[in-house]
Amino acid sequence: MTEKVECVVIGAGVVGLAIARRLALEGREVVILEAETAFGTHASSRNSEVIHAGIYYPTGSLKARLCVAGRQALYRYCAEHEIAHRRIGKVIVACDATELAGLRRYREQGALNGVDDLRELAADELAALEPELRCVAGFLSPSTGIIDSHGLMLACLGDAQRHGAALALASPVCAGRVGAGDITLEVGGAGAMTIACRIAVNAAGLRAQEVARSLAGLGREAVPPTHYAIGHYYTLAGPCPFRRLVYPVARQDWLGVHVTIDLDGRARFGPDFNWIDRIDYRFDAARESAFYDSIRRYYPGLRDGALRPGYTGIRPKIHGPGEPVPDFVIQGPRDHGVPGLVNLFGIESPGLTSSLAIADHVAGLVQ
């Protein structure tokens, strides 16, 4: 027997839940399918929980536009729903003279993206703001913040359910087919079923390409390659020496081992990305010495033995090592020719910050 619903959202991470909320608020009938036994168990709960300002991304890109709009929407939403968060601010620093050009590019890029509150800091100002930092220059991003990502997901899910949405856990999409009239999904798990829907949003995160490839009738040229990058996080034993987040100038296509602070005031360092070929969250303790070396470039006071293994997170990449970093890929019917289907690929950072704006964007694609 085939169940019929209007909208299916595949994936109950922060982006999937934000999309389900947005569609439900429009009065649409929404079912959320999640392969795991709980929501938000992958990238949505294994990250730095940072509300990004929108500094780093190419002007006009989805990442830039949705991060800036999403950050503004997220602060409003947190205030309205009493989600724990803090507009803590961030300092971005050059550890030596070779990084000054990179620091200048960040400021210029942020200004082009509409981040209009960045403030250059002289050496004495940096020393006063963050006495433990060693750097030659930096600037302040006061609109960067931190958030309880689980609280955000709970709020989005609660809004969606109050407007009629249903969450089905342990319900992986195993296969499907797309046609001119509707989209049919074969759902596994204990309550295996077939669902026919008019709108399907593939927000499956790490497995988004796998889901897309399982849909008969969707051209394979529409599905980008799958790559995974794992990041390790260490926590700091003892009090946090910083009042704000600290990001050094990046040396590769990621933002380096930076300092984030959780809502309890504890410092954590990471991530140091490494390419992997499968989803595997095991912590590699052998990376510890590299963490000490990276952190001491800007925090020389880090004591031996002060780092504690924290956790790992995996990002869904659509590019491989050495390739240019692409934009978010959010495909609607005009992109792949399938009415009612939206695929989201490569939704990594700043996905959490952008989640509400991504939801608005997807809602526009399915009108």
Taking the domains of the chain in order of start, what are their residue ranges?
Answer: 2-46+150-224+325-365, 90-142+227-317
Beta-carbon-side half-sphere exposure of residue 218 (alpha carbons within 13 Å)? 32
Number of separate helices (H) and strands (E) present in the chain: 9, 21
Q: Which tokens go with 161?
A: 């359910």
User: Exposed, middle or buried, 1 (CB in 10 Å: 0-12/13-18/19+)?
Assistant: exposed
Do 28 and 199 form a contact (C-beta atoms < 8 A)? Answer: yes
Intrachain domains 2-46+150-224+325-365 and 90-142+227-317 with the same fold: no
Separation CA 273–CA 153 (nearest Å)? 25
SS (H, E, C) 107-165: HHHHHHCCCCCCEEECHHHHHHHCCCCCCCEEEEECCCEEECHHHHHHHHHHHHHHCCC
- Greatest extent of the chain over all pairs of C-alpha atoms, in Å: 71
Contacts of 204 (CB under 8 A, 6+ apart): 10, 11, 16, 35, 173, 210, 211
Which stretch of DSSP H or E encloses residue 232?
strand 227-236
90-142+227-317: CATH superfamily: D-Amino Acid Oxidase, subunit A, domain 2 (3.30.9.10)
DSSP conformation letters of 258-284:
EEEE-TTS-EEEE---EEESS------
- Domain 2-46+150-224+325-365, second-level architecture: 3-Layer(bba) Sandwich (3.50)
Q: What is the pLDDT along the chain (367 residues), one digit of tens a residue?
A: 799 999 999 999 999 999 999 999 999 999 999 999 999 999 999 999 999 999 999 999 999 999 999 999 999 999 999 999 999 999 999 999 999 999 999 999 999 999 999 999 988 899 999 999 999 999 999 999 999 999 999 999 999 999 999 999 999 999 999 987 799 999 999 989 999 999 999 999 999 999 999 999 999 999 999 999 999 999 999 999 999 999 999 866 555 799 999 999 999 999 989 999 999 999 999 999 999 999 999 999 999 999 999 999 999 999 999 999 999 999 999 999 999 999 999 999 999 999 999 999 999 999 8
Q: Is 199 left (phi over 0), alpha (psi -120 to 50) or beta?
A: beta
